[in-house]
Amino acid sequence: QRVNVTVRSGLPMVLSGSAEPCAQLVVSSIGVVGTAEQNQRHSARFFDVLTAQLGLGPERIMIRFYPLEPWQIGKNRTVVTFL
């Protein structure tokens, strides 16, 4: 209920100067991705899944973490602050 996933395949993408197959994961969350320590743990887990499922080496994957505040997410005609 609190996770949304969007997959867009087949996009032209360059990572580290190479157009070889690669992936970018963008993670945004309220209160879960706010520190380097949290993101290091998440990163390890995401890399395990992505390398296994996509068959890519870890050097071909980039993860970006975005911490959000409850007032930045709209849901059910309001914002998460009030849910």
Is the CB of residue 32 less than 8 Å from the CB of residue 38?
A: yes
pLDDT confidence of residue 46: 95
pTM, whole model, 2 decimals? 0.86
Task: Give 78's contacts (C-beta < 8 A, 6+ positions apart).
Answer: none
Strands 74-75 and 61-68: unpaired
pLDDT confidence of residue 34: 86
pLDDT confidence of residue 74: 95
Considering the four listed CATH numbers 3.30.429.10, 1.10.1740.10, 3.40.50.10090, 3.30.70.240, the one that applies to the domain covering 26-82 is 3.30.429.10
Q: Quick one: tokens of 63?
A: 């993860």
The string of DSSP letters for 29-54 reads EESSS-SHHHHHHHHHHHHHHHHHHH
Low-confidence ranges of the chain (pLDDT < 50): none
Is the CB of residue 29 less than 8 Å from the CB of residue 68?
A: yes
pLDDT confidence of residue 1: 61
